[in-house]
């Protein structure tokens, strides 16, 4: 009996370890934006070019957007996302302004790029008919922000990535979704003077699509636990029969 009891303890410990390992496996996947661009305070849009400039130019403000679809990746069908990071490319072609981040203020120290939940008409946003309503919704959310990052001329490295770690507010949001969602972006305190400009991601129409890097925990299906349990039970039965057969000899 002592042998069987020891075996039971060992097998159950093994099963518990296997289940704990399976339940805590941290996996990573990346979603690619299906559409991106900007809307400005005049109601114009960059679609279909995909330019995602954000900020202000000669008194006109620009908010950008990035569309993602969680259902595009089967791995995300029934998992809890624990961490998310938006990855945006600094354009390769920085042309005459000397950088993706630009300001006419000689004393400029940068700005804050923030991300928000878009709750407007996604179809109109994507087909270019969102107008001023889309612009306004891309740069505001009473519930909070999805993430933010300081940007400045120090970020003007062609082809480099600008990364924004997303907040718990975003994680709560995406873990309730099964399909498409939109991240809206705005630059804080852009210079609205008619002759001035302050913007980020200029000349981005030829850049790769934005990426959303997601880390999640793979939760085993109930059948996985059933298989582990059946295996443990089978080993116990086999061991018990072996002991009984040995005692009869």
Q: What is the per-residue pLDDT across 178-220, written as a single tens digit (0 to 9) for each?
A: 999 999 999 987 555 555 889 999 888 888 899 999 999 876 5
The confidence score (pLDDT) of residue 36 equals: 97
Structure tokens at 87: 């990855």
Sign, CA torsion 177/87/114/137: negative
- The full length of the chain comes to 249
pLDDT exceeds cutoff 60 at 31:
yes
Does the N-terminal peptide bond of residue 48 adopt cis geometry, omega within 30 degrees of 0? yes
Q: Could you please report the per-residue DSSP string of 107-148?
A: T---EEEEEEE--S-HHHHHHT--HHHHHHHHT--TT--SEE
C-alpha radius of gyration, the chain, whole number: 26
pLDDT bucket at 235, cuts 50 / 70 / 90? low
Backbone angles phi, psi at 183, to 5 degrees: -100, 125
Is pLDDT at 38 greater than 90 in this prediction?
yes
How far is the C-alpha of 147 from the C-alpha of 132, rounded, in Å?
A: 23
Least confident of 9-18, 166-175, 182-191, 199-208: 9-18
Torsions phi, psi for 4 (to 5 deg): -65, -40
d(CA 87, CA 96): 25
Q: What was the pLDDT predicted at 201? A: 92
Going by pLDDT thresholds of 50, 70 and 90, the confidence category of residue 20 is very low
* pTM score of the predicted model: 0.78
pLDDT tens for 80-109 read: 999 999 999 988 766 555 568 888 888 888
Strand extents, DSSP E, 147-221: 147-151, 161-165, 180-187, 197-200, 211-217
209: Cα within 13 Å, side-chain hemisphere: 14
* CA–CA gap between residue 87 and residue 77 (Å, rounded): 22
- The total of other beta-carbon atoms located within 10 Å of residue 15's CB is 17
């Amino acid at each position: 009996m002592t042998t069987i009891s020891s075996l039971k303890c060992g097998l159950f410990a093994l099963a518990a370890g296997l289940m704990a390992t399976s339940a805590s496996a941290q996996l990573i996947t990346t979603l690619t934006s299906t559409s991106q661009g900007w809307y400005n305070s005049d109601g114009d849009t960059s679609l279909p070019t995909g330019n995602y400039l954000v900020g202000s130019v000669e008194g006109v403000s620009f908010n950008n957007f990035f569309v993602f679809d969680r259902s595009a990746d089967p791995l995300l069908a029934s998992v809890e996302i624990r961490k998310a990071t938006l990855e945006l490319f600094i354009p390769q072609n920085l042309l005459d302004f000397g950088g993706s981040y630009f300001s006419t203020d000689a004393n400029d120290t940068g700005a804050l790029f923030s991300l928000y939940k878009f709750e407007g008409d996604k179809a109109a946003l994507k087909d270019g008919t969102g107008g001023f309503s889309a612009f306004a919704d891309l740069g505001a959310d009473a519930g909070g922000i999805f993430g933010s990052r300081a940007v400045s001329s120090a970020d003007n490295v062609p082809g480099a990535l600008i990364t924004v770690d997303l907040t718990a507010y975003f994680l709560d949001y995406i873990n309730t979704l099964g399909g498409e969602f939109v991240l809206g972006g705005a630059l804080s305190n852009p210079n609205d003077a008619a002759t001035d400009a302050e913007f980020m991601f200029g000349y981005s129409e030829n850049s790769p699509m934005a990426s959303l890097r997601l880390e999640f925990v793979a939760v085993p299906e109930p059948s996985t636990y059933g298989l582990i349990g059946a295996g443990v039970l089978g080993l116990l039965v086999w061991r018990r029969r072996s002991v009984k057969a040995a005692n009869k000899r």
